[in-house]
Amino acid sequence: MKGIVIKYNEKNINTDLIIPARYLNKSDPEHLAKHCMEDLDPNFHEKKRKLDATILVGGSNFGSGSSREQAPISLKAAGIKCVIAPTFARIFFRNSINIALPVIEFSNINEFNSGDVLQIDLDEGMLINQTTDKKFDIKKVPKFIQEIIRQNGLVNFAKKKLTEN
Amino acid sequence: MGLTISEKILRDHSQNPHVVAGDYILAKIDKCLANDITAPIAIEVFKEVVKGTNKGVFDLDRIILTPDHFTPNKDVASANQCKIMKDFAWKNAISNYFEQGRVGIEHCLIPEQGLVRPGELFIGADSHTCTYGALGAFSTGVGSTDLGVAMALGKAWFKIPESIKFIYSGELKKWVSGKDLILYTIGEIGVDGATYKAMEFTGEIIDNFSMANRFTMCNMAIEAGGKNGIINPDAVTEQYLREKNINQYKIYKSDDDAEYFETISVECGEIEPQVAFPHLPENSRPISEVNDMKIHVDQVVIGSCTNGRLEDLKIAAKIIENNKINPNIRCIVIPGTQEIYLQAIKKGYVRTFIESGAIVSTPTCGPCLGGHMGILAKGEKALSTTNRNFKGRMGHVESEVYLSSPATAAATALKGYITSPEYL
């Protein structure tokens, strides 16, 4: 996977900032994408478009708060292909895996700036910042989770289980 | 080496009798829950999973659907979401669908209805599903995809969490409740202090706590990043279940030699009522400090899955009785369920609230997440007994929410600035 970074240094970018509850009266991804990150940065979409970014980098405890899957759904529908943060809140983390949005725990986010080009290999556990020409090891994804991502999310994983039974 | 209650419940629900903390499992769940915000997506997921097979929901009696967030339907879009849920419930003959008028705030309603029991593995597409750990169940919040899959398979995946043991000891000061202890605890460890961990609450103070206080503490485990909050069942738990005529359940308890990630002892004798400042639950401060600051608020909310139980309303009513709500304040009281509402009427609390100048609302999550029934304007401040005070949580992105116990909220509603009953 290769993409350009859009970065927010803030810690605790919570689910209310990612998708405010006032927009949860509809579930369609287009609607959610439109309001994604609105309460954190009203110019999120414009910045993202100017950078042509698809990799979101955030501070620790990313996605804390609600269980609303609308948070990762809105990011994915807005064109984000991967989220990198030092730590993630656990429900956001599992929701992202379940919809096959890769989330990468990486402690030193100072190594990335908005506009940097990253090359990521999840299977090998390797990340290259092509802009700074630096290479990093990232945590290998546990087998169980790899399997879910490989099947493009929990729905396909479950379909297989259901027909096995 | 012994096991924690959380490890034991998850192990018994997996197919592998050897799994320990850190292992991934696909476990059989006992119950699953969704609400009007999370069910519509879960239903789409469910349909997708069973498409092309002749399978239906895994169990008609183990799926619980509660339209409680934006209800009574606040607008057309919310009404559509509720309709999706209702149609699904009727079509699939889901026995535990609660229509508006019978529904309550899910985490008050489900224990009240006896739909969660000790030893169960319970998942809910709502982060505060961790509330039911108060009954000795392993209960945790998940997303809509997890829920949709669970409705089809009766299973969910978990990483078995390590546990942090909290030991609360000492003698509580007057007006200090479970809410104050959990706000204090989150203040100490931070909003990510228990990320991925089970928070096991123990000690003499927990032993002596009512079920209402226990629910409140477990409810906010997620505000420290915890996977679940949990309390080993005891005589208080069993008494609560007996009153509901529930006698079939399995009691799990942590072994004396169980391994913990960390043990945190909290000496509670000096802990004062706590107020969490905007915009994080970890910003808790003692009331003596806060009282001096004379923070005037525009709205007080007493209710929610954290503090909408009869005991909470009783505490607030006793403080408010024969007094008037401050002229500058909107005070909104929200009983957690219809049964709590009725009891509050019978015991005279509703009369007390209305005579004092407060609003009494039908059960709803409403204002807690900025849905409806008490939204803040730009620049307004609220003191609330809810669980989250994130930026913009209760309305305008430039409004502020402070969190406290029902006692502190009631005293504040009278005074107009944040205070506790000891200063009245």
List, for residues B51-80, the tens digit of each pLDDT value. Answer: 999 999 999 999 999 999 999 999 999 999
Using the Cβ of B77 and the Cβ atoms of chain A, whether some distance falls under 8 Å is answered with yes
C-alpha distance from B128 to closest chain A C-alpha (Å):
8
Band the pLDDT of B368: cuts 50, 70, 90.
Answer: very high
Q: Above 70 in pLDDT, residue A57?
A: yes
Which of A15, A26, A44, A66 to substitute to test the interface with B, most B CBs within 10 Å? A66
Instruction: Say yes or no for a CB contact (<8 Å) between A87 and B195.
Output: yes
Among the listed residues B47, B84, B51, B52, the one whose alpha carbon sits nearest the alpha carbon of residue B65: B84
Among the listed residues B100, B174, B124, the one whose alpha carbon sits nearest the alpha carbon of residue B411: B174
pTM: 0.97
Q: Which of residues 355-414 of B touch A (CB under 8 A)?
A: 369-371, 388, 390-393, 397
Q: Mean per-residue pLDDT for B10-20?
A: 94
Domains recognised in chain A with CATH numbers: 2-164 (3.20.19.10)
pLDDT of residue B1: 83
Residue found by looking up tokens 């969660």 in the block: B116
Q: Mean per-residue pLDDT for A71-86?
A: 97
Tens of pLDDT, residues A6-24? 999 999 999 999 999 999 9
- In B334-419, the DSSP E strands lie at 359-360, 381-384, 400-403
Q: Above 80 in pLDDT, residue A165?
A: no
* Average pLDDT score, chain A: 95
Are B252 and B118 spatial neighbours (Cβ–Cβ below 8 Å)? yes
Band the pLDDT of A80: cuts 50, 70, 90.
Answer: very high
Using the Cβ of A142 and the Cβ atoms of chain B, whether some distance falls under 8 Å is answered with yes
Q: What are phi and psi of B383, to 5 degrees?
A: -110, 130
* CA distance between the termini of chain A: 34
Tens of pLDDT, residues B166-217? 999 999 999 999 999 999 999 999 999 999 999 999 999 999 999 999 999 9
Instruction: Say yes or no for a CB contact (<8 Å) between B192 and A61.
Output: yes
- Please name the helix (run of DSSP H) or strand (run of DSSP E) that holds residue B11, with its range, or none: helix B5-13
Which residues make beta-bridge pairs with B395?
B376
pLDDT of residue B364: 98
Q: Could you give the strand order of the β-sheet that contains B262-267, starting from the edge strand earlier in sequence?
A: B228-230, B198-202, B163-169, B262-267
Q: For residue B78, how many C-alpha atoms fall within 13 Å in the half-sphere facing its CB?
A: 18
Q: How far apart are CA B227 and CA B222, in angstroms?
A: 6
Tens of pLDDT, residues B300-349? 999 999 999 999 999 999 999 999 999 999 999 999 999 999 999 999 99
What is the torsional sign of CA A35, A41, A43, A48?
negative
pLDDT of residue B104: 98
Q: Read out DSSP for A20-81?
A: -GGGTT---HHHHHHTTTTTT-TTHHHHHHHHT--EEE--SSBT-S---THHHHHHHHTT--
The three-point CA angle B131-B272-B177 to 5° equals: 30
Burial of B316 (0-12, 13-18, 19+ CB in 10 A): buried
Residue in A closest to B141 by C-alpha: A67
Q: How far apart are CA B221 and CA B229, in angstroms?
A: 5
Numbers of helices and strands, H then E, in chain B: 15, 18
Which residues make beta-bridge pairs with B301?
B332, B384
Q: How far apart are CA B308 and CA B386, in angstroms?
A: 9
C-alpha distance from A76 to closest chain B C-alpha (Å):
15
- Six token digits for residue B365: 């999550």
- Six token digits for residue A45: 């979409």
pLDDT of residue B187: 98
Among the listed residues B2, B35, B27, B12, the one whose alpha carbon sits nearest the alpha carbon of residue B366: B35
Instruction: Say yes or no for a CB contact (<8 Å) between A90 and B152.
Output: no
pLDDT of residue B301: 98
Q: How far apart are CA B32 and CA B21, in angstroms?
A: 23
Q: Above 90 in pLDDT, residue A150?
A: no
Q: Read out DSSP for B183-240?
A: HHHHHHH-TTTTTT-EEEEESHHHHH--HHHHHHHHHTGGGGT-SEEE----HHHHHH
Query: What angle do the packed helices A90-98 and A70-77 form, to 10 degrees?
Result: 50
CA distances in angstroms from B157 to B123, B194, B228, B229, listed in the order given: 11, 20, 15, 18
Which residues make beta-bridge pairs with A104?
A84
Domains recognised in chain B with CATH numbers: 5-265 (3.30.499.10), 277-423 (3.30.499.10)
Q: Above 90 in pLDDT, residue A141?
A: no
Please list every residue in chain A whose beta carbon sits closer than 8 Å to the beta carbon of residue B78: 25
C-alpha distance from B412 to closest chain A C-alpha (Å):
26
pLDDT of residue B121: 98
Among the listed residues B364, B128, B369, the one whose alpha carbon sits nearest the alpha carbon of residue A22: B369
Q: What are phi and psi of A155, to 5 degrees?
A: -60, -50
Q: Which of residues 62-121 of A touch B (CB under 8 A)?
A: 64-70, 72-73, 87, 89-91, 94-95, 98-99
ipTM of model: 0.94
Which of B16, B37, B126, B158 to substitute to test the interface with A, most A CBs within 10 Å? B37
The three-point CA angle B220-B222-B228 to 5° equals: 95
pLDDT of residue A143: 86
In chain B, what are the helix, strand and coil shares in percent, each to the nearest 5? 35, 20, 45
Using the Cβ of A159 and the Cβ atoms of chain B, whether some distance falls under 8 Å is answered with yes
